[in-house]
């Protein structure tokens, strides 16, 4: 049976019920309905503590069907934005190249092309969790080259609100995959043109480029002497400029899902 959407009434139960009006709405119930409809943000309520915000955000963001609906809506808007851009100029800015009316971008070493209507073409399978951040990256008027300075997701602009969800749905999933398949990260480096990095306190440190100027660093420490393994995903500081944090979150979810499928294929073939 499919999961029911997280309702505004469930959200209302988590609110302070003060009806203070500081969110510019007449009641907490109206605020709950506006948040559920994506018209207000949790941060618009000054009485919510950080723990409650994280719990509510996990409820709101943790529903795959709601995420998919949001990304499809974003996708339509991004396609319209791309249609109004000079793709030759965009290519120079974001590290792609322009040829015969197409903007080509390397995603993990694989070629993706965007046409003037905002449609994405590739021999690879396209899913909203990857396609939408790709268009957001191309449409973003701001851009910064990689800095070599690595940050946790929570340190990206706007990353604090989703940091726990990012840890559970991206880092924990990849940690479990790396624990069960110790050679997986090395295989990913070969499959997706990754670079094994030195100088990090980790058994494996892998740099991947899901977008040309969007480097990710995956650091995995194997279990040892009774200590659990650990896996951390770090972002170059430029990532916070080149892609909004919710899109970075989406992109990492897509990568984690793809890596999980690759691990399953390896296990089946073994």
Instruction: Assign 259 a pLDDT band (cuts: 50, 70, 90).
Output: confident
Residue 106 has pLDDT above 60, yes or no: yes
Mean pLDDT of the 181-186 span:
84
Residue 28 has pLDDT above 70, yes or no: yes
Residue 68 has pLDDT above 50, yes or no: no
Structure tokens, 270: 């073994």
Instruction: Assign 215 a pLDDT band (cuts: 50, 70, 90).
Output: very high
Q: With contact defined as beta carbons under 8 Å apart, do 144 and 155 qualify?
A: no
- Least reliable range by pLDDT among 11-20, 231-240, 259-268: 259-268
Question: Which has more pLDDT, 44 or 208?
Answer: 208
The pTM assigned to this predicted structure is: 0.72
Estimate the crossing angle of helix 50-61 against helix 28-36, to 10 degrees.
40
CA torsion through residues 24, 30, 31, 36, sign:
negative
Instruction: Assign 269 a pLDDT band (cuts: 50, 70, 90).
Output: low
With tokens 């723990």, the residue in question is: 51
The pLDDT of residue 95: 95
């Amino acid at each position: 049976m499919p999961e029911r959407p997280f309702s505004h009434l469930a959200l209302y139960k988590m609110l302070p019920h003060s009806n203070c009006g500081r969110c510019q709405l007449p009641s907490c119930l109206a605020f709950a309905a506006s948040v559920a409809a994506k018209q207000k943000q949790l941060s618009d309520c000054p009485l919510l503590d950080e723990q409650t915000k994280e719990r509510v955000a996990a409820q709101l963001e943790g529903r795959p069907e709601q995420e998919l609906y949001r990304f499809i809506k974003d996708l339509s808007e991004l396609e319209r934005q791309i249609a109004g851009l000079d793709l030759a100029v965009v290519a120079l800015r974001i590290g792609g190249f322009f040829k015969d009316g197409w903007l080509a971008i390397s995603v993990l070493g694989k070629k993706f092309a965007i046409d003037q209507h905002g449609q994405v073409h590739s021999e690879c399978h396209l899913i909203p969790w990857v396609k939408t951040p790709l268009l957001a990256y191309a449409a973003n008027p701001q851009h910064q080259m990689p800095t070599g300075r690595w940050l946790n997701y929570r340190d990206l602009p706007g990353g604090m609100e989703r940091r726990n969800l990012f840890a559970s749905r991206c880092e924990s999933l990849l940690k479990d995959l790396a624990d069960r398949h110790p050679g997986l990260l090395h295989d990913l480096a070969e499959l997706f043109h990754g670079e094994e990095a030195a100088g990090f306190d980790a058994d494996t440190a892998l740099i991947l480029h899901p977008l040309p100027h969007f480097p990710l660093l995956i650091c995995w420490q194997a279990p040892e002497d009774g200590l659990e393994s650990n896996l951390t995903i770090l972002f170059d500081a430029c990532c916070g400029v080149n892609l909004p944090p919710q899109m970075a979150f989406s992109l990492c979810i897509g990568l984690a899902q793809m890596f999980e499928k690759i691990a399953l294929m390896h296990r089946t073939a073994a």
